[in-house]
Amino acid sequence: MRWKLVVLVSMVAALLASLCWFLLMELFFNGSHSVLDLNSNFWPLSMVVPVLLAMFGGFFIYRHTSRRRKTQATMTILAVLALTALVCFGVTALLRSRTVI
């Protein structure tokens, strides 16, 4: 297995997915307060971009490895989604603790 490639692609894709998710939240869901309070029914649509970036990372790993392609691609997709969720929850928790409503 190419662990370095899997880890590097997972981290880069997770950071890009997190940035894209926050950008979508800022642009389309109530401005800067949307990260703190998600009252919209359309917030699951904002997760389309992170899922697509995770799938792209998995496809990249699939095409650049020679053995155990499906396993490494699946690991990458799951790692990207988990890291994206951790980053988003961490940033949201930090913003909630710093902002007084």
pLDDT score, position 86 = 92
Distance (Å) of CA 52 to CA 9, 29, 31, 101: 14, 20, 23, 34
Average pLDDT over the chain, rounded to an integer: 81
- pLDDT digit string, tens, across residues 17-29: 999 888 877 777 6
Does residue 52 lie within any of the structural domains? Answer: yes
Does residue 8 lie within any of the structural domains? Answer: no
Range of the domain at 86: 47-101
Does residue 2 lie within any of the structural domains? Answer: no
Does residue 42 lie within any of the structural domains? Answer: no
pLDDT score, position 43 = 66
Does residue 93 lie within any of the structural domains? Answer: yes
Q: What is the tally of helices (H) and strands (E) in the chain?
A: 3, 0
Domains: count for the chain: 1
pTM of the predicted model as reported, rounded to 2 decimal places: 0.78
For residue 68, name the pLDDT band (cuts at 50, 70, 90): confident
Q: Name the most confidently modeled range: 17-26, 35-44, 53-62.
A: 53-62
